Structure 1
């Protein structure tokens, strides 16, 4: 069962590798990724834990999007390390 969203969105920030990947996406792929980013900002626990790390791996099979990210300690910022669309 998925955890309930807190009602407060986290701020999504992308690090350099993710920003570089963004430049290679089409407008349609960017739109799909935006929807995934919003979903993660509302409920940062959507993704599954990557064992042995602080990372989470979120894959939306319908939109064909994958995002690897981690949350700051206070869960106010979600840092995206990798995107795939």
Structure 2
């Protein structure tokens, strides 16, 4: 049985950042979010925090996962 992907949600700050992105940058962000949803442990932990950071192809995402890794809350995006 394949592993279930996590549901990705966005903090209010990240939603504002998404709204300001051009379509090309949104397209660059999608595979990064897919990678995080498939494996929430992919990013490295930020010091003294539940937050994790993942960088891929010039995209940076700061997020945290619920205890079971079923929900990813994106706090910050940079493309």
Question: Which category describes the TM-score, using the shorter chain as reference length?
Answer: over 0.9
Q: Name the one with the larger helix percent.
A: 2
How far 1:7 sits from its partner (Å)?
1.6
Please provide the CA RMSD for this pair. Answer: 1.0
SS at match of 2:20: coil
TM-score by length of 2: 0.94
Within a 5 Å distance, the mapping from 1:48-67 to structure 2 comes to 48-60=44-56, 63-67=57-61
The count of aligned residue pairs is: 78
Q: Give the TM-score taking structure 1 as reference length.
A: 0.88
Alignment pair present for 1:81 and 2:47: no
Gaps of 5+ in 2: none
How far off its partner does 1:9 sit?
0.4
Q: Which runs of 4+ in 1 moved over 6 A?
A: none
